[in-house]
């Protein structure tokens, strides 16, 4: 008998899934605003594109990763944001 792999990612419990969702909701506005202002490395002010919520999330410190694709460009730009605790602001860690 063979087992068919259905997903590559580990299964999430309800508590971790809620933490991921909350972190994504709090970090996404910062990412979007930074992109519009041209404050993300590799992006000019007003440049159009799509930010994908990859949500590679780790706790302590909270770390979340977003992928972004510019309009007309096949390259993917990965941005990692961290915060030391849920009451602290997100900061760009890696680009």
Decide if 6 is inside a domain: no
> Rounded distance, CA 73 to CA 71, Å?
6
pLDDT for 85-94, tens place per residue?
888 888 888 8
Of 63, 43, 68, 40, the closest CA to residue 53 belongs to 68
Reply yes or no on whether the pLDDT at 11 is more than 70. no
The SS3 call for residue 27 is helix
Q: How many domains does the chain have?
A: 1
Quick: pLDDT tens for 34-50: 888 888 888 888 778 77
- Indicate the pLDDT class of residue 12, thresholds 50, 70 and 90: low
Of the two residues 83 and 6, the one the predictor is more confident about is 83
What was the pLDDT predicted at 66?
85
Q: Are 79 and 92 in contact (CB under 8 A)?
A: yes
Q: 3-state DSSP call for residue 77?
A: strand
Domain hosting 39: range is 14-94
Whole-number Å distance between alpha carbons of 17 and 6: 19
């Amino acid at each position: 008998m063979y087992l068919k792999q259905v997903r590559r990612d580990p299964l999430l419990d309800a508590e971790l899934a809620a933490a991921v969702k909350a972190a994504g909701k709090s970090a996404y506005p910062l990412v979007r605003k930074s992109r519009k202002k041209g404050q993300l490395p590799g992006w000019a002010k007003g440049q159009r594109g799509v930010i994908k919520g990859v949500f590679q999330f780790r706790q302590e410190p909270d770390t979340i990763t977003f992928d972004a694709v510019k309009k007309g460009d096949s390259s993917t730009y990965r941005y990692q944001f961290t915060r030391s605790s849920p009451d602290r602001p997100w900061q760009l860690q890696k680009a």
